[in-house]
Amino acid sequence: MSTPSAGLEAAYRATLRWYPRGWRVDNEDAVVGTLLDVADAEQRTRPQTAELLNLAVCGLLRRIDPVLPAQAREVASAVAFACGAALSLTILLVSYLGPLARQIVPPWWVGPSDPAGALPYALWLIACVFAMAGHRRTARWSMVAVLASVAALAVLRSTTQVTYSLPSWIALAFMLSLAVMALIASPLVWRGTLGVASIAALAFAVFAGGAAVAGGFGGRYHPERWVFETVLSPSNVGVALVFALATVGILAALRLRVAAAGLAAATLPWAVLWFAGYFAEDVVGSLVSAAVLAGLTVVAASAVALWAWLLRSGIAVPRRLAHMVSAPAVWTAPILIALMVWGTRTANATWTTLPYWNAVVSVACYGLPIAVLTAAVVTAWESSRMRRYASTDQPVPATAYLARLSRRVWPTLVGSIAGYLVTLALLVQNSGVPKAGTPNLLVPAASLAVLLSAFAFGALLGRLCHTAIAVPTALVASYLWFALPSAQGASNPAWLNITGFGLPQSSFDFSFVPATGALLAPILLSVAVVATFALVLFLRRAVVGYAAGAVLVTAAVLVGNVLVAGIGQAPYAPRPVAELVCSGDATAVCLWPEQDAVDGARILNAVVEARVQASKNGLTLPDRVEASSSAFTAHQNADVSYLTSLPGPGASTQQIKTAYATSLLESISCGDATQTADAAWQALRAQSALTMLVGAGTTALLQKSTPLFAPDDGALTSLFAARQALDVGSIDNARKVLNSWRSETKKLCNSRPAA
């Protein structure tokens, strides 16, 4: 054999290492033979780059095959491609072409949107066009160009100071993962997804419709970041992920393996988006969380491996220990109680100064997400194990099944109730203020209903699938469903209330009492879930039970939406104004009884001081000041100024003055003056001015503000610069800023018909 041929053969064999070992043992010699035949025929002594690339890709796919078979890859690729197309079309139209076409030059936007940011989206649509036209190769290279443009933008972002005008890291991470997922199958399947165009059109129609309702594109510019922070906010994506994972679970249970694996893979880019958005605020925190998560996974996997080895090794495991380990409800119950108590203490810094009974009862619900997660996982575990035993035995009658399941999971139920009660006892003992009124017992009742529905959810999952699928699904789904809206409540309040995780916030302030809708909606949904479980268990045909359950749950979600929409999406309602207690002479300060009892004198003094300082600075304020909630008071009475968001008992004079200044701003506005972004910016400046005029320091306020929008003064390119522009500087300037805002607001209010 000649030397060149030997070199060629060595190159081919080296490239074939991309294939899995087992495959190479079977096929390597035959493939090398064919490759050499082809090279001979083409009179080559060197390998072609395209040939080697083809071998590498085919080898890699061969390795992926066992996890994600070819057909599943096609499903994932098609879904990713369609999602990317819809997103690209939307963002290009809304954030880049739309403003251009309408000649909107936003004066308040921090820096212009860099046209380079549009590149990945434009390239994606080009890939779309080529795929539709059947130009497979060009379509694939266009998609590779998407990857390249994302990489280039990432380099640009990390080397320039002007990052506000470029796509965010979240957007880049999402586009990168979507493009990689799209590339794992032939562009032929992209063309195959006839739905691409319709999904894109539909997505845009829904989006445009929503935007039109909210005020249309005419007056506002929606930067790309806006799309990722509102439409694709972590909580919205989280909710979508829950539904996707539930669908994966159902497909797996129906033994539609290809579809389940494909959909599971298709959710990965969305998981990246969720993760990136969730942790975008805090890079160090996200790294720490990832490290902790990885560490916990390693510890858990090691524990499972050790246990398995112990059982197999023949070493005698004490019977009692074996029994404990195989009964998760027993050992999770004490951990659960500890976590619930600890969670409330750390999550709620003001817990020792809670003002009244309703707040104590509500805040004690803080451990609910942990309890729900544990309940779902433990029940899914036990239920799926019973299913496995049942398959070898006679079918278990429903009542016997229920009795056996209850025997196995009762410690978790008792543990979660105990966790609530211990938290409540600690809160009552530590709040050093007199309690007023009677606790609203519907709050713990709703909490218990939600907990029971978690048991039913876990049991259903366990009946549907194998332990290895049921337990992780219960963990992830219940985390996303129950805990995520709690963490990200502000961006999805309706969801927070329907799932029941508004409960801890249903009465956090003197000015609020729990809203009936926020209590009824989760109870309704919980009843629907428990009813589904009962139907599946007792009906002769489980399928009918599932179908009826789906209808029940959907109806409960719909009715729940109506219930919480009726209360303005908040888990609380205003407290009757008649309960206010007034004191003071020239300045009348009216507070809630508990406030008045503990801090009345200090609040009165701070407000009087602030008013004196304000009048020195030429600002006349109403004589009467009332404690109130900003969300529910119309603030129409010009003779009264309202004290909103006043901190709990023991607040410093500075804090009281800042709260007073913030409230003054709301009292002056006519309710919805801050709806547009430039009005929001002006309001922030006015707030800064008011804080200065009443003699409270503005430093804390400026550090807290994170303006999304700011006027384009030419040099405003960062958050720091935006904060600097917020600072009004001198008293004289503060007066000017306030007066101009007042006259603008008055104009705006007068232009509206009276309510």
Closer by beta carbon to other proteins, 50 or else 754: 50
Find the DSSP H helices in 280-367: 283-313, 319-325, 328-347, 357-363
Closer by beta carbon to other proteins, 36 or else 542: 36
Please tell me whether residue 670 binds other proteins under the rule CB under 8 A.
no
Find the DSSP H helices in 254-267: 257-266
Closer by beta carbon to other proteins, 58 or else 283: 58
Q: Answer yes or no: are the C-beta atoms of 243 and 266 closer than 8 Å.
A: no
| Minimum gap (Å) between residue 38 Cβ and other proteins | 6
Question: Other CB atoms closer than 10 Å to residue 630's CB: what's the count?
Answer: 16
Please tell me whether residue 1 binds other proteins under the rule CB under 8 A.
yes
| Minimum gap (Å) between residue 190 Cβ and other proteins | 15
Instruction: Report the SS3 class of residue 166.
Output: coil
Instruction: Report the SS3 class of residue 354.
Output: coil
| Minimum gap (Å) between residue 62 Cβ and other proteins | 7
Closer by beta carbon to other proteins, 187 or else 411: 187
Given 64, 70, 322, 559, the residue binding other proteins (CB under 8 A): 70
Whole-angstrom distance, CA of residue 456 vs CA of residue 549: 12
Q: Answer yes or no: are the C-beta atoms of 452 and 533 closer than 8 Å.
A: no
Sign of CA dihedral 348, 342, 358, 556: positive
Terminal C-alpha separation, the chain? 95
Of 351, 526, 367, 355, which is closest to residue 456 (Cα–Cα)? 526
Closer by beta carbon to other proteins, 70 or else 325: 70
- Near other proteins by CB under 8 A, which window of 22-30, 355-363, 531-539, 686-694? 22-30
Tracing tokens 């071998």 back to the chain, one arrives at 55
| Minimum gap (Å) between residue 490 Cβ and other proteins | 50
| Minimum gap (Å) between residue 551 Cβ and other proteins | 40
Closer by beta carbon to other proteins, 55 or else 179: 55
| Minimum gap (Å) between residue 55 Cβ and other proteins | 4
Closer by beta carbon to other proteins, 134 or else 618: 134
Q: Answer yes or no: are the C-beta atoms of 482 and 499 closer than 8 Å.
A: yes
Of 609, 606, 601, 603, which is closest to residue 627 (Cα–Cα)? 603
Please tell me whether residue 471 binds other proteins under the rule CB under 8 A.
no
Closer by beta carbon to other proteins, 61 or else 156: 61
Of 477, 331, 476, 486, which is closest to residue 415 (Cα–Cα)? 331
Tracing tokens 């959907």 back to the chain, one arrives at 554
**With contacts defined by CB under 8 A, how many residues of the chain interact with other proteins?**
24
Determine how β-strand 640-643 pairs with β-strand 624-627.
Answer: parallel
Closer by beta carbon to other proteins, 55 or else 273: 55
Which tokens belong to 591?
């507070």
Tracing tokens 């009492």 back to the chain, one arrives at 513
| Minimum gap (Å) between residue 199 Cβ and other proteins | 24
Closer by beta carbon to other proteins, 40 or else 672: 40
| Minimum gap (Å) between residue 459 Cβ and other proteins | 38
Of 512, 651, 656, which is closest to residue 592 (Cα–Cα)? 512
Whole-angstrom distance, CA of residue 65 vs CA of residue 747: 66
Which tokens belong to 673?
């003056």
| Minimum gap (Å) between residue 265 Cβ and other proteins | 19
Tracing tokens 């990689």 back to the chain, one arrives at 180
DSSP, res 38: H
Binding residues among 544-563 for other proteins as defined by CB under 8 A: none
Closer by beta carbon to other proteins, 59 or else 98: 59
Identify the burial level of 467 via C-beta atoms within 10 angstroms of its C-beta, where 0-12 means exposed, 13-18 middle and 19 or more buried.
Answer: middle
Site string for other proteins, 508-547 (x = CB under 8 A): ----------------------------------------
| Minimum gap (Å) between residue 86 Cβ and other proteins | 27
Closer by beta carbon to other proteins, 62 or else 345: 62
Binding residues among 182-221 for other proteins as defined by CB under 8 A: 188
| Minimum gap (Å) between residue 254 Cβ and other proteins | 23
Task: Provide the Cα torsion 138, 141, 147, 152; round to 10°.
Answer: -100
Largest CA distance in the chain: 110
Site string for other proteins, 23-62 (x = CB under 8 A): ----x-xxxxxxxxxx--x--------xx--xx-xxx-xx
| Minimum gap (Å) between residue 66 Cβ and other proteins | 12
Question: Other CB atoms closer than 10 Å to residue 509's CB: what's the count?
Answer: 22
- Phi and psi of 683, rounded to 5°? -65, -40
Binding site for other proteins (CB under 8 A): 1, 27, 29-38, 41, 50-51, 54-55, 57-59, 61-62, 70, 188
